[in-house]
Chain A
Amino acid sequence: GAGVSQSPSNKVTEKGKDVELRCDPISGHTALYWYRQRLGQGLEFLIYFQGNSAPDKSGLPSDRFSAERTGESVSTLTIQRTQQEDSAVYLCASSPGLAGVAYEQYFGPGTRLTVT
């Protein structure tokens, strides 16, 4: 079946502009995650959605970052007034999200964001 998809695959933007990144999770997965990965670094948790519960936003680095999810489907990560330090690969993952049980997360290919 289809995996996690993300768009665009690459985004180049000027400093100060807003960007919107999209994630389509695996159908039926109730949990969705966003991570940031700087060049040569590990994954930095940003935000987590689980069903209709309030999202865990504890990883968002500043109020310029926000994310939304429509039901249990598409999610968008928005970065306002982009800075050069925002340049990174943004990864989305989804998992079945059954309550009380940790599961593997399935990752998309990522969106490479370059802020010039």
Chain B
Amino acid sequence: GESVGLHLPTLSVQEGDNSIINCAYSNSASDYFIWYKQESGKGPQFIIDIRSNMDKRQGQRVTVLLNKTVKHLSLQIAATQPGDSAVYFCAENSPRGSQGNLIFGKGTKLSVKP
């Protein structure tokens, strides 16, 4: 069935290093992907999105890479800071016909060591 999953449930990095969070998706019909950041006690916050007609998109300190061949999505965070510590979720748009609906992965917890 359709699913969005993550390769690594937890990730610990040193402050200043680059972080890479990976995500696998199973539905080749998905054409929109988002990364969210969720800090403790808060709702998910949009980081960056990408549509399937692109394979790379950059934001401020973040880059999302999309490999449609192997159905893989990654989030790269440059010069990771303590404030980046959070749970990161990838999501894909649902193919169920409910336009706009998203299916979320289980999340990866990023811990940044000072």
Contacts and interface: CB of A to CB of B under 8 A. Distances in A.
Nearest to A99: B99
Interface in A52-78: 56, 58
Nearest to A97: B100
Given A42-B106, A43-B89, A102 B99 contact: yes
Given A41-B106, A104-B34, A95 B46 contact: no
Given A42-B104, A42-B107, A50-B99, A102 B43 contact: no
B106 to A, nearest CB: 4
Interface in B78-114: 89, 91, 93-94, 96, 98-107
Chain B, interface residues (CB within 8 Å), range:
20 to 34
Chain A, interface residues (CB within 8 Å), range:
20 to 34
Given A102-B32, A102-B93, A31 B100 contact: yes
Given A91-B43, A102-B32, A42 B100 contact: no
Contacts of A93: 43
Interface string A85-112: 0000001010101011111111111100
Interface of B: 31-32, 34, 36, 41-46, 49, 89, 91, 93-94, 96, 98-107
Interface of A: 4, 31, 33, 35, 41-43, 45, 48, 50, 56, 58, 91, 93, 95, 97, 99-110
